[in-house]
Amino acid sequence: MSAVTTAGGAGILTEAMTSFVQKLDAACEAKRSLLCVGLDPDPQLMPVPDIFDFNRSIIDATHDLVCAFKPNLAFFEAQGLEGLQALKQTIEYIRDISPYVIIIGDAKRGDMGRVSAAYATAMFDHWGLDAVTVHSYMGRESVEPFLGYGGKGAFVLCRTSNLGGGEFQDIQDEAGVPLYQRVALAVNGWGADGNIGLVVGATQPEEMKAVRGSCPQMPILIPGVGSQGGDIHAAVVNGTDALGRRAIINASRSIIYASRGPDYAEAARREATRLRDAINDVLEAEGLGWR
């Protein structure tokens, strides 16, 4: 393991040369968990006024149960510079408290090459995230700048969990292949060294199965099991790889707003425990439990 120079910056030294997927695998094994907690700090829902205080309580209450945290940048940006200061604090706090946890910036960025390179600088060098979610509409060129960082990863939006997600994603090409599958097939050829994954919502079990079939080894970030109502059994069976790994199953609101009262951290821990165990029960039943 040696320090490397990133592709995106002017000779900035990154951490030791471990691929993103190796780090992810290590985090999952260490925690015996595929669960990710989404940090969506919304002032209209938070039981305490300060974003960082809120996040810290949630992190304290759940970090031993999860392989990853996923701050959604929109909720930090909505609070302006103070919100972005809280984002930085939150990432640093996770880093300090838990060496074995992946931090995925849910940022949904994506622009032409030189602009995506600037976003990659922001996400990886400045905020210190391990991975970021990205749009692929502008093609491979728009995703590649996120792939040139040792140990960092990008999750490309494939079939999203939102209600109207199929409007464009399900459009079929002349051969009957839907757009989300075209994206999956393309992305499968872009990555090198375990630095790229896909986002597929738990609300789309059949699409998940098809994507996993096309991309047998790629990590898949799976939102939608909590408040959005996606089925955990289907997410685990269809979303994991042949070994029952490489899926990151995210819940945000159902965990962090499990209670809106002063017991919110305990309630978040209860709900995170329930979800982690539900996921692990499926793995166990499939003969793919943690060793």
* Phi, psi values for residue 191, rounded to 5°: -75, 160
> By CB under 8 A, is residue 6 in contact with a copy of itself?
no
Task: Give CA–CA dist 284/281, Å, rounded.
Answer: 5
Cβ 143 to a copy of itself, closest distance in Å?
10
Both tokens assigned to 16: 């030791």
> By CB under 8 A, is residue 185 in contact with a copy of itself?
no
Q: Provide the mask over 140-179, with x wherever binding to a copy of itself is found by CB under 8 A and - wherever it is not.
A: xxx--------------x--xxxxxxxxxx-xxxx-x--x
Nearer to a copy of itself, 173 or 263 (CB): 173
Torsion, CA 135, CA 254, CA 102, CA 80, rounded to 10: 60
Catalytic residues: 108
CA distances to 101, 125, 196, 256 from 6, in Å: 22, 10, 16, 35
Identify the residue among 89, 113, 231, 233 touching a copy of itself (CB under 8 A). Answer: 113
> By CB under 8 A, is residue 284 in contact with a copy of itself?
no
Both tokens assigned to 62: 């759940």
CA-nearest of 158, 151, 160 to 181 is: 158
Torsion, CA 72, CA 74, CA 76, CA 77, rounded to 10: 150
> By CB under 8 A, is residue 112 in contact with a copy of itself?
yes
> By CB under 8 A, is residue 109 in contact with a copy of itself?
yes
Q: Provide the mask over 236-275, with x wherever binding to a copy of itself is found by CB under 8 A and - wherever it is not.
A: ----------------------------------------
Q: For CA atoms 49, 55, 60, 65, give the dihedral sign.
A: positive
> By CB under 8 A, is residue 119 in contact with a copy of itself?
yes
> Which residues does 14 contact at the CB level (< 8 Å), separation at least 6?
3, 4, 5, 6, 124, 149, 150, 151, 152
Number of residues that bind a copy of itself (CB under 8 A): 58
Cβ 183 to a copy of itself, closest distance in Å?
7
DSSP-derived secondary structure letter, 123 = I
> By CB under 8 A, is residue 182 in contact with a copy of itself?
yes
Task: Give CA–CA dist 27/68, Å, rounded.
Answer: 8
Identify the residue among 3, 12, 16, 74 touching a copy of itself (CB under 8 A). Answer: 74
Identify the residue among 139, 213, 216, 229 touching a copy of itself (CB under 8 A). Answer: 139
Instruction: Give the footprint of a copy of itself on residues 23-42 (CB under 8 A).
Output: 40, 42
Task: Give CA–CA dist 259/243, Å, rounded.
Answer: 35
Give the helix/strand (H/E) hosting 25: helix 20-31
Question: Would you tell me which residues interact with a copy of itself (CB under 8 A)?
Answer: 10, 40, 42, 44, 72, 74-75, 77-81, 84-85, 88, 106, 108-113, 115-116, 118-119, 121-122, 126-127, 135-142, 157, 160-169, 171-174, 176, 179, 182-183, 186
